[in-house]
Structure 1
Amino acid sequence: MPLHVPAVPAPALRSVLAALSSPTAVLEARTPALRSAEGPLIPEHPLPVHVFEPAAPGHGLPHARLTGWRFHIRAGDRVAAAGETVRTPDGWAFSHFSEGPYLASTERALRQAEALSTAYQPHLLSVPGLYMLALWLHSDISAEAGSAQPAPADLLVPLAPAPPGIAAHRLHRLSDLVPVLTLRLAPAPLLGSAV
């Protein structure tokens, strides 16, 4: 079933296009694949990027805070890099180009999601405390990117590399995976303290 990508803010797309048309930005990028790419560089697959903010234990689902947009940068028949924007007080600004295993992993997760029989809205969910990135399939396909919040019917597809003990590219109900993430993000008890 087709995915319903939320509307991309025009300034976010413009900032990535401006960076791609800047020889300085492309040549100074720490992405060898982007610097050596031939032909036009085209931003595609825009996905809103949210940061996972766990709720207190026993207080329901986590919150998600929109922090940016990630675009895959296509060069010919392959994805060469990602271009990221960040939210600023003035709107959206280009942040950086990157490459690495999450590019192919995101492409794979998007193909998995498109094969599902239910329609979803794709987002990226970052869990910084676990060095984890997941494709978040939001069940409310009409939600605006900035107001989307995790819901029990949502799915998560952890991208590779995933943290130990969490299977990459396996569909997880958000409500099943959240307790695992919350437990792993909880501060460790101090040595010698009463349990």
Structure 2
Amino acid sequence: MPLLVPPAPAPALLSVLAALSSPTAVLEARTPALRTAQGPLDAELPLPVHVFEPASVPGGLPHARLAGWRFHIRAGARVAAAGETVATPDGWVFSRFSEGPYLASTERALRQAEPLPATYQPHLLSVPSRYMMALWLHSVPRADAATAQPDPADLVIPLAPAPPGIASHRVYRIVELAPLLSAWLAPPPLAGSPA
């Protein structure tokens, strides 16, 4: 079934398009593929980026906080980079252009998700403490992307490179990863307290 990509906030898209039309922003980007791209550049495939935080209930699913939007930057027939935005008190602003293994891995994970039997809303999720990125397939395809929260029916495809003990590009049910994610997200014990 097809993935239902949520619409990005207009200011997020406009900020990426403004950066793409700025020769300075493109030339100063640390993305060789973007600097050498020929032809028009376009922002497509907006994916909300969520940071996972500890569950509010012991043993529950982690909480998701919308941290930004990532757009694939297409140069002709290929994706050359990603354009990222972040929320500020004044609204969505352009953050940076990036490339690297997560870009190709995201494309691969999206292709993996296309033939799944149900319809999902794709999100990216980040677990910064483990340098982990994953494609989060939310089982409520028409949910508000800004407020979406993990559901037991959701799937997760870790992107490569994945942390030790997690297989990249394997489709996991989120409940399979929840105990590990909860352990990773738990605050460290206070010094001098029993662990």
Q: Is the 8 A contact 1:52 1:62 kept in 2?
A: yes
Unmatched 5+ stretches in structure 1? none
Is residue 2:144 matched to residue 1:144?
yes
Distance 2:59 2:87 in 1: 28
Task: After superposition, give the CA deviation of every residue in 1:21-52 in whole Å (9 maximum; x if it has no partner).
Answer: 00000001111110011111111111000000
Equivalent position of 2:47 in the other structure = 47
Unmatched 5+ stretches in structure 2? none
Q: Is the 8 A contact 1:52 1:126 kept in 2?
A: yes
Quickly say closer, same or farther: Cα 1:186–1:35, change in 2 above 3 A: same
Task: After superposition, give the CA deviation of every residue in 1:52-98 in whole Å (9 maximum; x if it has no partner).
Answer: 00216724111100111000111122111100011111211111000
Distance 1:182 1:173 in 2: 15
Q: Is the 8 A contact 2:59 2:179 kept in 1?
A: no
- Mapping of residues 114-193 of structure 1, within 5 Å: 114-187=114-187
Q: Is the 8 A contact 2:60 2:178 kept in 1?
A: no
User: Which letter maps to 1:63?
Assistant: H
Q: Is the 8 A contact 1:7 1:144 kept in 2?
A: no
Distance 1:92 1:194 in 2: 43
Q: Is the 8 A contact 1:121 1:137 kept in 2?
A: yes
Distance 1:65 1:192 in 2: 31
Equivalent position of 2:85 in the other structure = 85
Tell me how far 1:185 sits from its aligned partner: 3.5
Q: Is the 8 A contact 2:64 2:150 kept in 1?
A: yes
Q: Is the 8 A contact 1:136 1:157 kept in 2?
A: yes
Q: Is the 8 A contact 2:72 2:79 kept in 1?
A: yes
Cα RMSD after superposing both structures: 1.6
Tell me how far 1:194 sits from its aligned partner: 4.3
List structure 1 segments (4+ residues) > 6 angstroms apart after TM superposition: none
User: Which letter maps to 1:67?
Assistant: A
Secondary structure of the structure 1 residue equivalent to 2:52: strand
TM-score of the superposition, structure 1-length normalised?
Answer: 0.94
TM-score of the superposition, structure 2-length normalised?
Answer: 0.94
Equivalent position of 1:67 in the other structure = 67
Identity rate of aligned residues, in percent?
75
Q: Is the 8 A contact 2:120 2:140 kept in 1?
A: yes
